[in-house]
A and B are shown apart, each in its own frame.
Chain A
Amino acid sequence: MADVQAPVLGEYQVIPHIQPDAMAGSKPYVAKPDHNKPLGFPGELVENWEQKAVAKLGELVNNSRALQVFLDSCVKCGACTDKCHYYLGTSDPKNMPVARQDLLRSVYRRYYTLPGKLFPSLVGARDMTKEVLDEWYSYFHQCSQCRRCSVFCPYGIDTAEISMAAREIMDSVGQGQKYCNEILAKVHRIGNNLGLPGPALEDTLLGLEEDVKEETGIDVKYPVDVKGADVLLVTPSADFFAEPHIDGLIGYGKVFHAAGISWTLSSHASEAGNFGMFVGSSENLHKVAKRIREAALDLGVKRIVVGECGHAWRVAYSFWNTLIGPFDFLDRRYPVPQHICEFTYDLIQQGALKFDKSANDDKVVTFHDSCNVARASRMGSMPGGQFIIPRAVVKASVNKFVDMAPETIFESTYCCGGGGGVLTDELIDLRVKGTQPRMLALRDVVESHGVTHVAAICAICKAQFSKVLPYYKFPMDMIQSVHGLVSKAIQLGPVNQ
């Protein structure tokens, strides 16, 4: 995809004029029967899919208050129109949140509301046709389900919910997306998104132990399937092999080592990510999450800690108790689940960890708030802890920290451009354009404060940054794991024993 051009970064963020159909050609590969069937979806587009899609829509609306309220309440005020990074980066009006919702709302209005049945063109109602389906397929895969729009909508309308519903409807008639469905099938079969089997995982972890021993001279363990360990760590599988993710995993191990808390990974639940959310399928969401409950019970752990992954943390924090609770078999003196940043932060507060921040003196670091952590979860006991705690962990590890512009962080953070199931090569054009607002904010702190690195706590953010940074003339290793920074600065050895 050499022809992909990054947008030019201007002086400041401009709201572009609309360019209809600018991204009409962007769509991911359609899933094959092999990808769909293990998920319980029809292999390919079924007969009578129009009626079936409309019926499914009705069923979903009846079973989700969010959907029902969101579809009925939008007043077309336009407040959300300039809030989506994909609109800002592509100028395609169908990437404005309300216009994206309208792709589905128009069908809802046609079949489930009186004015839509009587006067379709007056209220923008449309029949379910092949053109509509194609539009859905294209534009509901140009939404990273980042929820930025929901912050700014006067009724809290969350386009992510609409995208999930649309994808579920498409899956239910056999029009699935290859990237997500192939990955989900791997999790069901093997236990992680990579399809990394148990023995390969063990090898990888042994290799890590050797590397850390070489680097520090200390025997830091990276255990897997250890029964009776205190903590089960569930982390995105990208942490097992990709850069800079793996530095984060090394960091988690060092924190556990320094704190003297026994822990283990699980080969059965070797994935924190849960693409069931991206495709909007409650069955798949539940099925993927269930592996974690099974692993925790099987290993007899007391606590569950979740590694650096944005949507995984949303699923874990917001949904696990519902999906795989109650957690009465775990030690309730600790939050269930606990984020690795909360875990490290607590230890820092107790003075249980020692850092040599100067180990990171070659860096000036900023922090990218990942959407799902920022707008769909919390850390600690205070609202907003999800912003404070990871920054506190970074600041404990580095001397030089700078935040990006306030309108681009915290609850207003811009998506990396790769979330929500679009982190696939055929969507690279969308991903490069969609990251433009984030890159602009980053460029500003690079120029004004000499920022050299951006830290994140999301596997998708890290993979996306590595890929898109070069398009904007930044080095790809500018992106760091928060626990990669921890790993560099943390002091192991007798002090902590």
Chain B
Amino acid sequence: MSAMSIIYALLFYVATFIFVAGVGYKIYVFARTPQPLKIPTTPAPITYTGVALRMVREVTLFESLFKSNKWTWLFGWIFHLSLLLAFIRHLRYVLTPDNVLWPIINLELVQTAGKYAGYAMLLGLAGLLARRFVVDRVRYISSPSDYLMLLLLLTIAGSGLLMTFVSHVDIIALKGFVLGLLLFEWQLLPASPFLLIHLTLVALLMIIFPFSKLLHAPGVFFSPTRNQRDNPREQRHVAGWSAQIDNTKSADAG
């Protein structure tokens, strides 16, 4: 067992713990914080089904962003879709052939899509980065962390692509390492500079996730302007401070 393997094994345990605990805690905070008033951005759906559909359109098609800015929509949508495809492709490292998902993950189509998604991801990210530089309004609102986040993702995508197309990694050994992590039977990590870069940055991404704007991922589901039903007249809504209101006293007096 090399020192490198041990370091990376520990790194991934720490990163996973921070990611899961951090995002879990944040979701708990979002969920426990009351929303005292009805504030859906109208026209808004009246039913739960309508709200579910609005949310599905928002997270799959980026509906509001589409209304807003076609370039940002295009680059953002390409990036997120290719991230999803790449993620699905990566599942082959953690799943074993006896898993129900294995036949799907192993499909030629899924693997190829995931492979080339890397290029699409670079394109999407480059577009988003270019907007930060080129559009004066977007430059104005960008902090160093906003550029760094894009660079981080670009480097992750770039190092992944290099391993796929240029300097291949022993993926059997890599899978051994990953499964070893899952089963707590540590295996050797194949030595490859691109792999080390790739893994380090992915771990970093997981660590900063709960403290950064990446919280938009759980956040969107909790956004009251998007997830509330438009039914304040039909059903009295109370939460938090508004649940303390008791009007019956003044009613008796009147």
A positions within 8 Å CB-CB of B? 15, 17-18, 20, 61-66, 68-70, 72-83, 93, 96, 98-99, 102, 113-115, 121-124, 147, 150-158, 161, 282, 286, 290, 293-294, 297-298, 317-319, 321-326, 329, 335-337, 374-378, 383-384, 386-387, 411
B216 touching A75 by the CB < 8 A rule?
yes
28 A-B residue pairs with CB within 8 Å: A64-B33, A65-B222, A66-B223, A73-B215, A77-B65, A77-B72, A81-B137, A81-B138, A82-B137, A96-B140, A98-B141, A115-B145, A152-B68, A154-B76, A154-B220, A156-B41, A156-B64, A156-B220, A157-B223, A157-B225, A294-B250, A294-B254, A321-B236, A322-B242, A375-B42, A378-B42, A384-B43, A411-B43
Q: B238: shortest Cβ distance to chain A, in Å? A: 6
A69 touching B222 by the CB < 8 A rule?
yes
Q: Does B92 contact A (CB under 8 A)?
A: no
From B38, B148, B219, contact of A69 by CB (8 A): B219
Q: A408: shortest Cβ distance to chain B, in Å? A: 14
Residues of B with C-beta under 8 A to A411: 41-43
Known: A155-B219, A156-B225. A318 touches B38 (CB 8 A): yes
A76 touching B242 by the CB < 8 A rule?
no
Residues of B with C-beta under 8 A to A152: 64-65, 67-69
Q: A299: shortest Cβ distance to chain B, in Å? A: 10
Q: Interface digits, B24-57 against A, CB 8 Å rule (1 contact, 0 not)?
A: 0010011001111111011111100000000000
Bound-complex Cα distance A250 to B233 (A)? 27
Q: B179: shortest Cβ distance to chain A, in Å? A: 32
Q: Does B224 contact A (CB under 8 A)?
A: yes
Q: Does B99 contact A (CB under 8 A)?
A: no
Scoring B58, B220, B241, B247 by chain A CB atoms within 10 A of each residue's CB, the highest score goes to: B247
Q: Does B186 contact A (CB under 8 A)?
A: no
Q: Interface digits, B190-234 against A, CB 8 Å rule (1 contact, 0 not)?
A: 000000000000000000100111011001101111100010110
B positions within 8 Å CB-CB of A? 26, 29-30, 33-39, 41-46, 58, 62, 64-65, 67-69, 72-73, 76, 128, 131, 135-138, 140-146, 148, 208, 211-213, 215-216, 219-220, 222-226, 230, 232-233, 235-238, 240-242, 245, 247, 250-251, 254
B26 touching A72 by the CB < 8 A rule?
yes
Q: B25: shortest Cβ distance to chain A, in Å? A: 12
Minimal Cβ-Cβ distance residue in B for A298: B254
Residues of B with C-beta under 8 A to A124: 143, 145
Q: B254: shortest Cβ distance to chain A, in Å? A: 3
Bound-complex Cα distance A123 to B220 (A)? 21
A156 touching B242 by the CB < 8 A rule?
no
Tally inter-chain residue pairs, CB-CB below 8 A: 225
Q: A179: shortest Cβ distance to chain B, in Å? A: 23
From B141, B146, B148, B237, contact of A99 by CB (8 A): B141
B143 touching A336 by the CB < 8 A rule?
no
B41 touching A322 by the CB < 8 A rule?
no
Residues of A with C-beta under 8 A to B37: 318-319, 322
B36 touching A69 by the CB < 8 A rule?
no
Bound-complex Cα distance A93 to B240 (A)? 35
Q: A113: shortest Cβ distance to chain B, in Å? A: 6
B219 touching A73 by the CB < 8 A rule?
yes
Minimal Cβ-Cβ distance residue in B for A124: B143
Residues of B with C-beta under 8 A to A383: 42-46, 230
Q: B94: shortest Cβ distance to chain A, in Å? A: 28
* Extra 11 A-B pairs, beta carbons < 8 Å, given A326-B236, A375-B42: A63-B33, A65-B35, A66-B39, A76-B138, A77-B72, A81-B141, A122-B145, A150-B41, A154-B58, A297-B250, A375-B41
Residues of B with C-beta under 8 A to A322: 36-38, 232, 236-238, 242, 245
Minimal Cβ-Cβ distance residue in B for A147: B41
Q: A262: shortest Cβ distance to chain B, in Å? A: 20
Q: B38: shortest Cβ distance to chain A, in Å? A: 5
Residues of A with C-beta under 8 A to B242: 282, 322-323
A93 touching B237 by the CB < 8 A rule?
no
Q: A325: shortest Cβ distance to chain B, in Å? A: 5
From A61, A72, A297, A319, contact of B232 by CB (8 A): A319
Residues of B with C-beta under 8 A to A69: 30, 219, 222-224
From B136, B219, B222, B233, contact of A321 by CB (8 A): B233
Known: A76-B213, A122-B143. A66 touches B220 (CB 8 A): no
Bound-complex Cα distance A80 to B247 (A)? 39
Residues of B with C-beta under 8 A to A376: 39, 41-42
A65 touching B137 by the CB < 8 A rule?
no
Residues of B with C-beta under 8 A to A317: 232-233
Known: A73-B219, A82-B137, A322-B232. A158 touches B39 (CB 8 A): yes
From B34, B216, B225, B250, contact of A290 by CB (8 A): B250
Q: Considering the complex of A and B, which 8 residue pairs feature the smallest CB-CB distances, nearest first?
A: A297-B254, A73-B219, A156-B225, A124-B143, A152-B68, A78-B138, A383-B43, A81-B137
From A65, A66, A68, A154, contact of B65 by CB (8 A): A154
Residues of B with C-beta under 8 A to A158: 39, 41, 225
From B142, B226, B247, contact of A156 by CB (8 A): B226
Q: A439: shortest Cβ distance to chain B, in Å? A: 22
Bound-complex Cα distance A153 to B212 (A)? 18
B33 touching A68 by the CB < 8 A rule?
yes
B33 touching A62 by the CB < 8 A rule?
yes
B29 touching A68 by the CB < 8 A rule?
yes
Bound-complex Cα distance A156 to B73 (A)? 15
From B26, B35, B226, contact of A155 by CB (8 A): B226
Bound-complex Cα distance A74 to B145 (A)? 13
A73 touching B213 by the CB < 8 A rule?
yes
Residues of B with C-beta under 8 A to A122: 143-145, 148
Bound-complex Cα distance A374 to B233 (A)? 16
A83 touching B68 by the CB < 8 A rule?
yes
B245 touching A65 by the CB < 8 A rule?
no
Residues of B with C-beta under 8 A to A147: 41
Bound-complex Cα distance A318 to B36 (A)? 11
Bound-complex Cα distance A73 to B223 (A)? 9
Residues of A with C-beta under 8 A to B213: 72-76
A151 touching B64 by the CB < 8 A rule?
yes
A18 touching B144 by the CB < 8 A rule?
no
A325 touching B72 by the CB < 8 A rule?
no
Bound-complex Cα distance A8 to B43 (A)? 33
Minimal Cβ-Cβ distance residue in A for B242: A322
B211 touching A114 by the CB < 8 A rule?
yes
Bound-complex Cα distance A284 to B95 (A)? 58
Residues of A with C-beta under 8 A to B141: 76, 78, 81, 93, 96, 98-99, 102
Residues of B with C-beta under 8 A to A154: 58, 62, 64-65, 68, 76, 216, 220
A78 touching B137 by the CB < 8 A rule?
yes
Minimal Cβ-Cβ distance residue in B for A326: B236
Scoring A72, A294, A374 by chain B CB atoms within 10 A of each residue's CB, the highest score goes to: A72
Minimal Cβ-Cβ distance residue in A for B131: A78
